[in-house]
Amino acid sequence: MALLNFRKGQSAPQTPTASLEALLTGYSIEVMPRTAEKVEDFRALLPMGTRVYIAHIDGTPFDEMLATAKRLSAEGYAPMPHFPARSIPDRATLADWIARYRGEAGVTEGLILAGGIAAPHGEFHSSMQLLETGLFDGFERLHVAGHPEGNRDIDPRGGEAEVMAALKWKQDFANRSDASFAMATQFAFEAGPVLDWCDRLAAHGITMPVHLGVAGPAKLQTLIKFAIACGVGASLSVLQKRAKDVTKLLLPFEPTEVLTDLASARAQGRGQAIECIHFFPLGGIKTNANWATDHGGATARPAIAS
């Protein structure tokens, strides 16, 4: 099975298959405040109603996060800001962020996660602690992190026993919540491990839909850098093998084959937990949005805008 698809130049895209178009319908995408500032008008790039995650990198001023959420909401999108537990100093700060997001930007959705820093800034160190505060009561949709390749922060010896235990806790919380829950995952580069992970989720009784992370078109060097930073171990080994061919270092990566493989598997009844695709636009949001449109992702799900 080919893992990555490289395309040289800007050749015309092939007509997407019905299964790929279905998979890409209602995709979401991630931005940071500093990258959002470079976008003149999101309406020229993204289907109306698209869910746009706002990445809260440690050290980003909250006012920049809020301004991005307000802009996205005003332009007709569903902003989903990150709430990174380890970057939030205390309950009062969390309550203030939530109140301002809801009151000033109309935010009703959030991605609740631990965050990528080792030492917490205050009393929170996990997404479960944030959920337990009760401060997200009234949100319409909450997403938590999923890790198809495991997570060394949670399972330092490898495997996924602790990751699965955490997901079971979150599944139980979701079952009691009035909010819609889903898992947003780290990016993946091959279909097989993702499909196997979906099978294991089902075996553990975890039924939250999967919003699968996929890297948008980008240079191979860029992907390797982010894979290292994000701890995507198995994917990193795939990229490193590709990097041994120096002729491919200058060619853009496109996620065509991995998504086609996933779409085909879903059409045959496997991987049904995958509800939609979440893009990490590592090569630029415009490049990613144009690729998605070319391959069938031109429509937002009606439920996303509600």
pLDDT for residue 206 = 97
Do 84 and 213 lie in one domain? The reply is: yes
pLDDT for residue 246 = 59
Do 286 and 247 lie in one domain? The reply is: no
CATH number, domain containing residue 200:
3.20.20.220
Q: Is residue 8 in some structural domain?
A: no
Do 80 and 171 lie in one domain? The reply is: yes
Do 144 and 197 lie in one domain? The reply is: yes
Do 186 and 264 lie in one domain? The reply is: yes
Q: Is residue 62 in some structural domain?
A: yes
Do 201 and 230 lie in one domain? The reply is: no
Do 43 and 168 lie in one domain? The reply is: yes
Q: Is residue 7 in some structural domain?
A: no
Q: Is residue 192 in some structural domain?
A: yes
Q: Is residue 304 in some structural domain?
A: no
Q: Which two tokens stand for residue 147?
A: 């890790």
Q: Is residue 92 in some structural domain?
A: yes
Domain extent, residue 247, equals 218-253
pLDDT for residue 9 = 38
User: What is the pLDDT tens value at each position of the chain, 306 positions in all?
Assistant: 333 333 333 444 456 689 999 999 999 999 999 999 999 999 999 999 999 999 999 999 999 999 999 999 999 999 999 999 999 999 999 999 999 999 999 999 999 999 988 899 999 999 999 999 999 999 999 999 998 876 666 655 667 888 999 999 999 999 999 999 999 998 888 898 899 999 999 999 999 999 999 999 988 777 767 666 665 555 566 666 666 565 566 667 889 988 999 999 999 999 999 999 999 999 999 999 999 999 999 877 654 433
Do 291 and 182 lie in one domain? The reply is: yes
Do 248 and 194 lie in one domain? The reply is: no
Do 36 and 103 lie in one domain? The reply is: yes
Cβ burial 179-195 (10 Å sphere, 16+ → b, else e) = bebbbbbbbbbbbeebb
Task: Please give the helix or strand (H or E) that residue 162 lies within, else none.
Answer: helix 161-176
Q: Is residue 3 in some structural domain?
A: no
Q: Is residue 6 in some structural domain?
A: no
Do 229 and 93 lie in one domain? The reply is: no
- Give the number of domains in the chain: 2
Do 171 and 92 lie in one domain? The reply is: yes
pLDDT for residue 114 = 94
Where are the strands (E) in the chain, listed by range? 5-6, 28-31, 51-54, 78-84, 109-113, 141-146, 180-188, 210-215, 218-219, 252-254, 274-280
